[in-house]
Chains A and B, each alone.
Chain A
Amino acid sequence: QVQLQESGPGLVKPSETLSLICTISGYSISRGYHWGWIRQPPGKGLEWIGSVFHNGDTNYSPSLRSRVTISVDTSKNQISLRLSSVTAADTAVYYCARVFQGSGADYWGQGTLVTVSS
């Protein structure tokens, strides 16, 4: 059974960098698929942040591209998200997910709430 688990600080100060890790179990990242990050501000809809392929190729949402980095560590079977210069607008539940290119995200983590506040 494929399982994903997000981890990282739940509180980040404005202007600092948000860092999250997604640990995947039950499936080796090296086998393929894209692995994505999606976020959801409280009470709002879903926003695609970006994704990474097992070889490290990435794609990012244009609205976040200047501030986001997604990377993969196949040795640890993890992907990571870094979002710099955060503001209150980046407060959201952050999800990682397995993405079958063209066919959507079939496995999701439970999500982790990150609050940006001083």
Chain B
Amino acid sequence: DIQMTQSPSSLSASVGDRVTITCRASRTINSYSNWYQQKPGRAPKLLIYTASSLQSGVPSRFSGSGSGTDFTLTISSLQPEDSATYYCQQTFTTPYTFGQGTKLEIK
């Protein structure tokens, strides 16, 4: 299986801050990296697919980048509603493994 390692596991930031979460794959996955946002008691929501494509309806403050083994999710200007846990996932090869999650708290 391809392992996806996220960092940090948690972070706290203020409204308006620029926030970056990283994800490293245990081997190359080309651009087959996706990012999800999950709020308590809710299903995950797809934010970014194939590394940098913004899912329809997702605010433009979310962006993704990377290829090969290293990927980032950036929130350009943090909003209160962005408090959630974020997961990366690879869809290069099955099983489509997830990172362990990054819990983002708003100060």
Contacts and interface: CB of A to CB of B under 8 A. Distances in A.
Given A103-B34, A104-B89, A51 B94 contact: yes
Interface stretch (A11-19, A24-32, A75-83, A107-115): A107-115
Contacts of A102: 32, 50, 91-92
Most central of B32, B43, B87 by chain A CB within 10 Å: B43
B50 A109 contact: no
Interface footprint category on A: 20 to 34
B91 A47 contact: no
Contact of B97 (A48, A101, A104, A108): A48
A102 B50 CA distance: 7
A104 B91 contact: yes
Interface string B84-107: 000101011011111111000000
Interface string A63-102: 1000000000000000000000000000000010101111
Contacts, number: 70
A110 B46 CA distance: 14
Contacts of B87: 45-46
B91 A103 contact: yes
Contacts of A109: 43
Contacts of B36: 46, 104-105
B55 interface: yes
25 contacts: A36-B96, A45-B87, A45-B100, A45-B101, A46-B44, A46-B89, A46-B98, A50-B94, A51-B94, A51-B96, A59-B95, A61-B94, A61-B95, A95-B44, A101-B91, A102-B50, A104-B46, A104-B49, A105-B44, A106-B46, A106-B49, A106-B55, A108-B43, A108-B45, A111-B43
